């Protein structure tokens, strides 16, 4: 058989490895001048390629019951064993797996070398404009530079980071075979708010608990370091809520983030008690000085302004209503979210080809025989922490095995 892999990113390289055999000719068609261009920037260039905590609550899909049959414990173990086989030694930090080299290029090069050792042919700078099926054969670019294959694996990626080559072309290819596309939205991306004080806090980083409310209904919380930007919020805990926010905004919902600036306390009364206790120990200081050692100077100004309290006053001068307002501002700082940053600045996509049209045991299309789909092209996205790459590895592995065996 002649198997064409459209896209030489994370899932495409793994799919090619598993599809390769002495009986198959496997060809990767990559639009960039190198494979794995997006892979090189993952994990800030260090490539967080796996995670010890692989529970499925780290994933989002409109077809969760199908996803359960893809990201199984058995498939996780097999995908992880591939990296041992190709020479990637793990450096594990807080459950996150990185190559011991601390270089994403090590992972890319090891995958590409394994593919080449197995006889996979890689054609770079090849843009796939169209694919048609005729007489049980797939013809790539039927109007020019035509290539013919017995089977096709679509691993084009989504729309995030288009400079890496993921510009959404894969959705058009999938739609040409009657696949349904869940509207792609930016994921793992910073959020934009309407309030003017974001610029006053720009550059501030602090430990918080973020709670997402959609149409005033609680959705999910994340705890970690938030980064304030000129436009809104960034940081890992923000990113882990961003795909839910983007999806909600696309459907016309009101999205709000509530920040607890004392994430170690779980009630408003506990924050009030903390402030009262601090006032007995930290004396003779204005409120601005009172919060030194707790918060960045920029943040102190914003918190006091939000609570409508004069920073030159002393805590003991506050009445009960003012103390309550201050504690509430610290415990439940409300932000109306009006958007996310664009696909250019998003790490991944949410949305894509619905899993309901895919055989989870082979990744073969239920619409077109001998067509397989994997990776970010599908309607699956995960939290920060290697989850999106793990799905790329597993779905690519299943697709490659499916194409080889079917």
- Secondary structure class of 221 (helix, strand, coil): strand
pLDDT digits (tens, 9 = 90+) for 206-241: 999 999 999 999 999 999 999 999 989 999 999 999
Judgement on whether residues 285 and 196 belong to the same structural domain of the protein? yes
Of 290, 308, 340, which residue is a domain's last?
340
**Position 186 pLDDT exceeds 80:** yes
Partners of residue 91 on adjacent β-strands = 98
Instruction: Specify whether 77 is located in the same domain as 103.
Output: yes
Phi-psi region of 246 (alpha: psi -120 to 50; beta: other; left: phi over 0): alpha
How many domains does the chain fold into? 2
Question: Residue 349 pairs with which residues in a beta bridge?
Answer: 186
Given 295, 323, 340, which residue is the final one in a domain? 340
Region 65-71 average pLDDT: 97
Query: What's the per-residue H, E or C state across 313-382?
Result: CEHHHCCHHHHHHHHHHHHCEEEEEEEECCHHHCCEEEEEECHHHECCCCCEECCCCCEEECHHHECCEE
The total of other beta-carbon atoms located within 10 Å of residue 259's CB is 19
Q: pLDDT tens digit string along 114-159?
A: 999 999 999 999 999 999 999 999 999 999 889 999 999 999 999 9
* pLDDT of 22 higher than 90: no
How far from 369 is each of 24, 245, 324, 372, CA to CA, in Å?
18, 36, 64, 8
Q: Are residues 32 and 81 in the same domain?
A: yes
Examine the domain organization and report whether 164 and 120 are in the same domain: yes
pLDDT-derived band at 196 (thresholds 50, 70, 90) equals confident
Domain of 362?
Answer: 2-186+349-405
Is residue 267 pLDDT above 80, yes or no? yes
Same domain, 161 and 82: yes
Please determine, for residue 245, whether its predicted confidence score (pLDDT) is greater than 80: yes
Q: How far apart are CA 241 and CA 226, in angstroms?
A: 12
Residues 115 and 168 in one domain: yes
Same domain, residue pair 319 and 357? no
Do both 172 and 154 map to the same domain? yes
Confidence of residue 21 (pLDDT cuts 50, 70, 90): confident
pLDDT over 90 at 165, yes or no = no
Q: Which two tokens stand for residue 348?
A: 């991944």
Asked if residue 159 and residue 17 are part of one domain, the reply reads yes
Phi, psi of 354 (to 5 degrees): -65, 140
- Looking at the structure, tell me whether residues 291 and 238 fall in a common domain: yes
Give me the CATH number covering residue 119.
Answer: 3.50.50.60
Is a pLDDT exceeding 90 seen at residue 199?
Answer: no
Instruction: Specify whether 30 is located in the same domain as 135.
Output: yes
pLDDT above 90 for 112: yes
Residue 368 has pLDDT above 90, yes or no: yes
* 379 band by pLDDT with thresholds 50, 70 and 90: very high
Note whether 127 and 113 are same-domain residues: yes
pTM of the full structure: 0.94
Nearest Cα neighbor of 194 from 232, 220, 234, 167 is: 232
Q: Which two tokens stand for residue 25?
A: 């000719």
pLDDT at position 163 is 83
Of the three residues 340, 360, 375, the one that is the final residue of a domain is 340
Query: Whole-number mean pLDDT of the chain?
Result: 96
Residue 375 in this model has a pLDDT that exceeds 90: yes
**Chain segment 314-328, per-residue pLDDT in tens:** 999 999 999 999 999
């Amino acid at each position: 058989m002649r198997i064409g892999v459209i896209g030489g990113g994370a899932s495409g390289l793994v799919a090619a490895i598993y599809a390769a055999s002495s009986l198959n000719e496997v060809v990767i068609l990559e639009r960039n001048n190198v494979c794995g261009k997006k892979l090189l920037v993952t994990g800030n260039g260090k490539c967080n390629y796996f995670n010890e905590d692989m529970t499925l609550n780290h994933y989002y899909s409109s077809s969760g019951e199908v996803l359960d049959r893809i990201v199984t414990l058995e498939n996780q173990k097999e995908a992880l064993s591939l990296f041992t086989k190709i020479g990637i030694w793990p450096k594990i930090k807080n459950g996150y797996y990185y190559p011991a080299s601390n270089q994403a290029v090590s992972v890319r090069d090891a995958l590409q070398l394994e593919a080449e050792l197995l006889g996979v042919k890689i054609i770079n700078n090849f843009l796939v404009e169209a694919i048609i099926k005729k007489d049980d054969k797939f013809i790539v670019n039927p109007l020019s530079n035509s290539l013919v294959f017995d089977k096709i694996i679509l691993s084009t990626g989504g729309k995030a980071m288009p400079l890496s080559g993921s510009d959404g072309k894969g959705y058009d290819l999938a739609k040409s075979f009657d696949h349904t596309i869940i509207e792609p939205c930016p994921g793992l991306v910073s959020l934009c708010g309407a309030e003017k004080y974001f610029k006053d806090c720009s550059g501030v980083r602090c430990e918080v608990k973020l709670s997402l409310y959609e149409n005033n209904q609680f959705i999910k919380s994340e705890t970690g370091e938030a980064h304030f930007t000129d436009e809104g919020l960034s940081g890992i805990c923000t990113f882990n809520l961003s795909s839910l926010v983007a999806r909600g905004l696309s459907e016309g919902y009101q999205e709000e983030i509530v920040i607890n600036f004392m994430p170690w306390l779980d009630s408003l009364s506990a924050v009030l008690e903390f402030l009262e206790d601090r006032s007995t120990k930290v004396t003779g200081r204005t409120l601005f000085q009172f919060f030194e050692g707790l918060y960045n100077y920029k943040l102190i100004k914003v918190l006091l302004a939000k609570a409508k309290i004069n920073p030159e006053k002393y805590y003991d001068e506050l009445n009960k209503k003012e103390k309550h307002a201050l504690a509430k501002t610290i415990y439940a700082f409300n932000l109306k979210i009006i958007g996310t940053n664009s696909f250019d600045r998003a790490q991944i996509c949410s949305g894509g080809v619905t899993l309901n049209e895919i055989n989870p045991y082979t990744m073969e299309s239920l619409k077109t025989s001998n067509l397989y789909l994997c990776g970010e092209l599908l309607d699956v996205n995960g939290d920060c922490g290697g989850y999106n790459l793990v799905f790329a590895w597993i779905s690519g592995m299943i697709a490659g095995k499916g194409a080889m065996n079917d």
